[in-house]
Amino acid sequence: MSDDGIGSVIKEFGPILGILMIATIIPMFLSQPTQASTNKGSIIVNTNPEGATVKINGTVVGVSPIMVNINPGTYTVLIQLSGYNDISTSITITSEETRTLNVSLIEIGSEWTPIDIEWL
């Protein structure tokens, strides 16, 4: 290290200082309180057969059976499983509310009558 002052220190130790700053700042953000989980609602999706992809507003959130904690609002839930007809429905969730959807998926090509989807 040369005797050029702070510039040479930053040049030589900059990457280490950056890592130390990140190691200090990230835990601060992680420990900050976020929106209280009590303000969220929950959507539970159960399918028969299990293993269907569940999308909420077009974003994959997982596979069934699944419970998703979500902010209050109106959402479109899409359920997809290869070889079965897709199921799409909308739901409005309020604060601290849990809604459950139980769906028996219908194989593509089988005779079936469209059914009403009921949220519990």
Order across the sheet with 98-104: list the strands.
66-70, 41-48, 98-104
- Extract the tokens encoding 73: 């609002």
Order across the sheet with 73-80: list the strands.
59-63, 53-56, 73-80, 87-93
In CATH, what is the architecture of 37-104? Sandwich (2.60)
pLDDT of residue 112: 64
The 10s digit of each residue's pLDDT in 32-52 is 444 444 689 999 999 999 999
pLDDT of residue 4: 57
Q: Domain locations in the chain?
A: 1-32, 37-104
Please give the chain's pLDDT, 120 residues, in tens.
455 555 555 555 555 544 444 444 444 444 444 444 468 999 999 999 999 999 999 999 999 999 999 999 999 999 999 999 999 999 999 999 999 999 999 888 877 655 556 666
The pTM for the full model equals 0.63
